[in-house]
A = this chain, B = another copy of it.
Amino acid sequence: MGLEHVLNASSIAVVGASRNETKRGYQAIKILLDEKYEGKIYPVNPREESVMGLPCHAKVSDIEAPVEMALITTPAASIPDILEDCGKKGVAGAVIIAGGFGELGAEGKKLERKMVKTAQKNHIRLIGPNTSGMINLKKHLNVVGLRDVPQGSIALLSQSGNMALTLITEAMIKTQMGFSYYVGVGNEADIRFHEYLKFFTDDPDTRAILMYVEGMRNGRAFLQQAYQTTRVKPVIILKSGRSATGRKSAGSHTGALAGMSEVARTAFQRAGIVVIENSDELMPAAESLANLPPFKNNNVVILADGGGHATIAADELTDLGVNLPPLSEKIQEKLRKILPAAASVRNPIDVAGGGDANPGIFADCAEIILHDHEVGGLLMVGLFGGYSIRFAESLRFVEEDAAHRLGKLVKKTEKPIVMHSLYNFAKPHALELLRYYKIPVQDSLEIACKCVGVLAEYGGYLRGYKAKAKFTFTKGEKSKARGREIFAQARKEGRNSLLENEAKELLSLHGEVVCVDCLATSAEQAVQQANGIDGAVVMKIVSPDILHKSDAGGVELSLETPDEVRQAYKKIMSNAKKFKSDAQIKGILVSPMAAVGQEIIIGTKIDDQFGPILMFGIGGVMVEVLKDVAFRVLPISSRSARRMIDEIKSAILLNGFRGRPPVDKKAIQHLLLAVSEIIGSYPEIQEMDLNPVIAYEHGLNVVDARIILTPEDETRW
């Protein structure tokens, strides 16, 4: 069932209604009445006759009129029975305030499961538990203890009541922004982040979605939805839990399993989400993205009064990846005409006191700059709005006129202006006017730069957006049928991993990867197979009972002649029997001996929040010491595979470093896609490791391949 019955409910039962002013069951009804909720309110409490003049019911099912939603303020243990009763009444949604569920460990988790089961059986969708509640500003449906939340166009999702309070307070005191909805997501026991995201995507009153997240239960579904949402409206996230202590704190707070990781950051950004790391930047970023047109190119101009501000802003914007191209000679000429001789007109522009007597020149400059089609947007830094305070009271009207002109300029050119003013604290009318025109004004130089940064980032995403290539199986059902046999055999033998030859066979079944390795069960077969391989071969024992092949004398290298192969076969077999007399021996794998080339590593693992992810890096120091690895949530597109290869820091090693030939990136790309396809095809796989793979100018050699199976009694992520 959709979320509209919870988030847009026209009638609400307050379970745990109370006459005691300190109780949530009192405050909830009080605020619904005070804020003039548009729907019906039904207090529920068997021990009360009435609450604030409203008749009280003993239980929800006693209410005669229809009840769309229930706010349940009673303790954790009481919830399942109350939900059963709500079910009888046909209630469609409930907000569960109580803590004491998943965030408290095993016992709590059990109770949480029981609650969710009861809700599902009764077709009730749940917000929470362990939440501060939710607010629908339009309907004045407010079940949070927060008054005077301003109405507007931002939908706020938060896993912390106090972070919501912080953001709402900031919106009130620093912006003219307001909210369409607030939802305290709590433990995400039933309704998940991606469902809220879908709801807000479809809500016409929401222009931007702002999220504070500690952990997600289904990051994968969230990402899928995010790809749809960010094409329509911006999504801004602060996800905490970067540090181990931060993760522990989140764990005891919302029971979140995992915090922010590189995987999450990359995945979010690829889905067009604006990821914020500093909580001070959250509301300004949302304000900018909700109000201003995103950049149509990545070029920004800084208009400053004073070199210090200009220099700092130039540093910041450069760090944020925004271009600061010098202005064209034509534009510089126009600026020179209206600015004093000491002014700098390249970019940053420093009016060098040219506005002291006439702050109107800022609008003059802005008009010249934004009419240049090469300019994507404008950052103004300095004292605007404060010239009347700093120099002459009479400049107030000049500043106000300039504000009107700047506001209209944004509308006309459809290019954003972001304003920093150190007089913002004094609330001059000129700055109020800018906000009326939806130009955000920031006290902080760095935050103003960040606003430009997110507008440029989101603009870049929208311009660069290509429908995410659907993952398609290149080999189809036939390959999968054989693949399934391999897994069935392993399961039958009670193994928790595939043998090396099986793993390599899988690679050959999917994608454009050739593994010429063959399993020989006699010396003569080995000779035959070695003959089919170019150059020297390596031979390795294949046995579920021998894990460390070298230690068991199960590996022979650099074999060149048939005789060497024959001898090696005998030697390996005899060593294996010596190592473990009853070892089950599948045969000996004959593989091409790897020539010197560039070592790479490809692996997968299961992420708690995002499911299977793929890793790529350069073997040795780069991965082991410098952790220089590219990640993607699977499946990946062909374009993603290519990008992974190029985005590691040490990618230059693949391009022909120090005179070596460049490696075959096409082959690496195919291998990455094959791994993506294999992981997508067989839920039996827990983890896959190709390490090392040697890359050459032409082709690859997968030297070793390991596949670990999901324990049979668990479903994979």
Contact = CB atoms under 8 A, between A and B. Distances in A.
Interface of A: 22, 99-100, 158-163, 165-166, 169, 173, 212, 214, 238, 240-246, 248-250, 252-254, 259-260, 278-280, 305-312, 314-315, 317-319, 324, 342, 344, 346-348, 350, 357, 382-383, 422-423, 425, 444-447, 620-622, 625-626, 649-650, 652-653, 657-658
A342 B446 contact: no
A431 to B, nearest CB: 15
A640 to B, nearest CB: 23
A306 B249 contact: no
Given A318-B243, A652-B625, A253 B310 contact: yes
Contacts of A626: 626, 649-650
A447 B446 CA distance: 13
A306 B240 CA distance: 14
B444 A350 contact: no
B253 A311 contact: yes
Contact of A311 (B250, B346, B347, B422): B250
Contacts of A383: 162, 165
A162 B387 CA distance: 13
A347 B307 CA distance: 44
A243 B306 CA distance: 18
B308 A212 contact: yes
B446 A279 contact: yes
A305 B253 CA distance: 11
Contacts of A344: 249, 252-253
Given A243-B315, A245-B324, A653 B621 contact: yes
Contact of A306 (B163, B278, B342, B444): B163
27 contacts: A158-B308, A160-B311, A161-B308, A162-B305, A162-B383, A163-B312, A166-B308, A214-B307, A214-B308, A242-B318, A243-B315, A245-B317, A245-B348, A246-B311, A250-B307, A252-B307, A253-B308, A253-B310, A253-B350, A259-B311, A260-B315, A279-B445, A279-B446, A280-B446, A621-B622, A625-B653, A625-B657
A254 B446 contact: no
Closest 6 CB pairs of A and B: A160-B308, A253-B307, A162-B306, A243-B318, A163-B308, A246-B315
Contacts of A214: 307-308, 311
Contacts of A318: 242-246
A241 B657 contact: no
A628 to B, nearest CB: 8
Contacts of A652: 625
B625 A279 contact: no
B315 A99 contact: no
A174 to B, nearest CB: 8
B242 A315 contact: yes
B314 A348 contact: no
A173 B173 CA distance: 15
Contacts of A161: 306, 308
A649 B259 CA distance: 25
Q: Choose among A158, A212, A314, A348 the residue with the greatest number of B CB atoms under 10 Å from its CB.
A: A314
Given A166-B445, A620-B658, 9 more contacts: A161-B306, A212-B308, A240-B308, A243-B314, A243-B318, A246-B318, A254-B307, A279-B446, A626-B649
A280 B445 contact: yes
Contacts of A346: 248, 252
B425 A243 contact: no
A280 B311 contact: no
Contacts of A248: 314, 346
Given A240-B308, A306-B161, A425 B169 contact: yes
A700 to B, nearest CB: 21
Contact of A159 (B305, B308, B622): B308
Contacts of A246: 311-312, 314-315, 318
A2 B166 CA distance: 51
Nearest to A280: B444
A493 B492 CA distance: 84
A118 to B, nearest CB: 23
Nearest to A307: B253
Contacts of A169: 422-423, 425
A658 to B, nearest CB: 8
B278 A446 contact: yes
B241 A160 contact: no
A160 B353 CA distance: 13
A347 B311 CA distance: 40
A683 B622 CA distance: 40
A353 to B, nearest CB: 9
A159 B447 CA distance: 22
A306 B382 CA distance: 36
A382 B162 contact: yes
Contacts of A324: 245
A540 B342 CA distance: 58
A342 B311 CA distance: 49
A309 B350 contact: no
B166 A422 contact: yes
A309 B422 contact: no
A263 B324 CA distance: 25
Nearest to A100: B342
Given A169-B422, A242-B315, A280-B444, A350 B307 contact: no
